[in-house]
Amino acid sequence: MLIRKPSMIPSSEITPKEVYGNRRKFMAAAAATAGLAALTGERLVHPAVEVAAATKLPTVKSPLSTAGLTPTAYKDITTYNNFYEFGTDKGDPSRNAGHLQTYPWNVKVEGLVAKPQTFSIDELVKLRPQEERVYRFRCVEAWSMVIPWVGYSLSALIQQCQPLSSARYVQFLTLDDPRQMPEMSQVNINWPYSEGLRMDEAMHPLTLLTFGLYGETLPNQDGAPVRIVVPWKYGFKSAKSIVKIRFVAKQPPTTWNEMASNEYGFYSNVNPDVDHPRWSQKTERAIGAPIWKQRQPTLPFNGYGDQVASLYAGMDLKKNY
């Protein structure tokens, strides 16, 4: 089994503090008023005041954390990103996402649920204790990281809303605000960004409703203030900056599948035997690893096969890619 209880090493010591101590600096939105900051309510945000570090999140160790992995340095996680609303180059999100206002923030839950409701970010954070989970993260572009995420299983939120028996899929819609996301007009995408999971995938305990990384609130460029993380799927399935969760009966449209269905399947499970039409998926480049260790073999289901392969019993995963 890949999942074991992690060690009791504090998150700040997983990687030496000096390795990832070069924290992002971001500017609060000019229109923001002083108030309680995102997630924990501890950080005051003032207009035009630089904040050197994100807010610490109280966490408990999770038995769902993957043991034996060395997390990627904080600097790499926060400067090498895909977030097209802030630009298509890997360094664009860290340069352009600083003005995203992440507090106040609401997430609306609607569709086939007995209890449709709107949660503030504070309500979401307080719903369950925050867990630290070290997960592999694999991008469809054949690069990977190991990230110590902070959050709790998405199933906790789903249970709170009581889906109807007719709800077979969950759709995630992200923020659609060109004023704060200036690069949206430069990309030929039908906004807002949409992703989706089958209900059993969304309910799986590994699927994480995520509020932070490295023991701190999410940096804007990594999907603040709330995203999902589905560790056995390619990274684009893990929607960032979510504002709406919708329960539906039929498979929802998803952004990259609509853009290029021959390249980006709805399921998008990590599968070394199914290549992207333009490159191989048999190996991946580990970001931040020593040069002699960067090229690594890709693991089926990103290494989480023992936990999730049963979800796809009887399916042809080369057709249902």
Domain 11-312 = CATH 3.90.420.10: yes
The pLDDT score that the predictor gives to residue 53 is 46
Backbone angles phi, psi at 32, to 5 degrees: -70, 145
pLDDT in tens, 206-248: 999 999 999 999 999 999 999 999 999 999 999 999 999 999 9
Cis before 163? omega within 30: no
Cβ neighbourhood burial of 110 (10 Å; 0-12, 13-18, 19+) = middle
**Contact present, 131 and 59 (Cβ < 8 Å):** yes
pLDDT in tens, 1-57: 333 333 333 333 344 333 334 333 332 332 332 332 333 333 222 222 233 347 999
pTM exceeding the 0.95 threshold for the entire prediction: no
Backbone angles phi, psi at 52, to 5 degrees: -80, -25
What are the residue boundaries of the structural domains of the chain, listed by start? 11-312
pLDDT in tens, 91-104: 999 999 999 999 99
Which structure tokens are listed for 151?
Answer: 């959050």
C-alpha 307/C-alpha 293 separation (Å) is: 26
Distances (CA, A) of 189 to 139, 175, 247, 255: 19, 14, 23, 7
